[in-house]
């Protein structure tokens, strides 16, 4: 798992939140809660450290731009029962997979390296994540939750959180919720007034 994510934004001066007054009040409230939520109580401190370390290893290009706490958002989703559903062909809920998987991830690290995941060198983190993705985790550790099921389940939730972050929206030039203003400029090199404009004209 190579760390070759781009670190340069085409939109260095764009701030999606500068246009937040054009969003409806419900949308503004949802995003405000997402950005300034209170620390949750579902995960233990050790689980939170592991969760944040995994997120940073999977999404290294966004670490500096994130305005949303991955652990706070996922903790709230767990507390609200939004992950009590089951992945396809699994008899274990997403909630249990992530909860137990974070514990087993550190157990696997302690077994191999005598250190928790967040203390490992970056290369070791990437190698472990790749092994877990391929279900090559220590079989004496990964039971009943298999490492590939943990990886795919957690990664799918992290993608949703990372790309629901206004800080990341600004970095990638996403204009945020379209409702109620809508999009009107559809032609080549055409932009609505509130959309991000690439800093590099060659990117147009």
- How does pLDDT run across 40-59, given as a tens digit for each residue? 899 999 999 999 999 999 98
Residue 46 belongs to some domain of the structure: yes
Residue 131 belongs to some domain of the structure: yes
Tell the burial category of 75 from Cβ atoms under 10 Å away from its Cβ (0-12, 13-18, 19+): buried
**Domains identified in the chain, total number:** 1
Residue 200 belongs to some domain of the structure: no
Residue 43 belongs to some domain of the structure: yes
Report pLDDT for 62: 53
Report pLDDT for 187: 82
Higher pLDDT among residues 57 and 203, named by residue: 57
Q: Which tens digits make up the pLDDT trace of 161-176?
A: 989 999 889 888 888 8
Report pLDDT for 178: 79
E strands, the chain, where?
none
Residue 7 belongs to some domain of the structure: no
Residue 3 belongs to some domain of the structure: no
> In which band, very low, low, confident or very high, does the pLDDT at 65 lie, cut at 50, 70 and 90?
low
Structural domain of 98: 16-174
Q: Are 128 and 118 in contact (CB under 8 A)?
A: no
Residue 124 in this model has a pLDDT that exceeds 50: yes
Q: Counting runs of H as helices and runs of E as strands, what totals does the chain give?
A: 7, 0
Residue 1 belongs to some domain of the structure: no
The three-state secondary structure class of 163 is coil
Residue 202 in this model has a pLDDT that exceeds 90: no
Give the mean pLDDT of 96-101. Answer: 97
Q: Which residue has the tokens 């764009």?
A: 14
pTM (two decimals): 0.85
Residue 112 belongs to some domain of the structure: yes
Ordered DSSP codes for 11-34: -TT--GGGGGGGS-HHHHHHHHHH
Cβ partners under 8 Å of residue 140, min gap 6: 111
Q: Which residue has the tokens 């990372």?
A: 162
């Amino acid at each position: 798992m190579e760390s070759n994510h781009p670190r340069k934004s085409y939109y260095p001066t764009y701030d999606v939140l500068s246009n937040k007054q054009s969003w409806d009040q419900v949308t503004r409230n949802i995003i405000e809660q997402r950005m300034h939520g209170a620390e949750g109580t579902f995960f233990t401190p050790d689980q939170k450290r592991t969760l944040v370390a995994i997120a940073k290893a999977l999404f290294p290009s966004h670490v500096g731009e994130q305005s949303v706490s991955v652990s706070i958002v996922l903790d709230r989703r767990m507390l609200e029962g939004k992950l009590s559903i089951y992945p396809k062909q699994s008899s274990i809920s997403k909630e249990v997979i992530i909860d137990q998987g974070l514990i087993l991830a550190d157990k696997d690290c302690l077994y191999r390296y005598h250190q928790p995941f967040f203390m490992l060198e970056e290369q070791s983190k990437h190698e472990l994540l790749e092994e877990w993705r391929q279900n090559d985790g220590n079989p004496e550790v990964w039971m009943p939750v298999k490492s590939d099921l943990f990886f795919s389940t957690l990664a799918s939730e992290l993608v949703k959180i990372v790309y629901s972050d206004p800080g990341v929206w600004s970095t990638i030039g996403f204009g945020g919720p379209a409702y109620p203003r809508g999009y009107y400029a559809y032609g080549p090199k055409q932009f609505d007034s509130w959309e991000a404009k690439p800093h590099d004209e060659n990117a147009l």
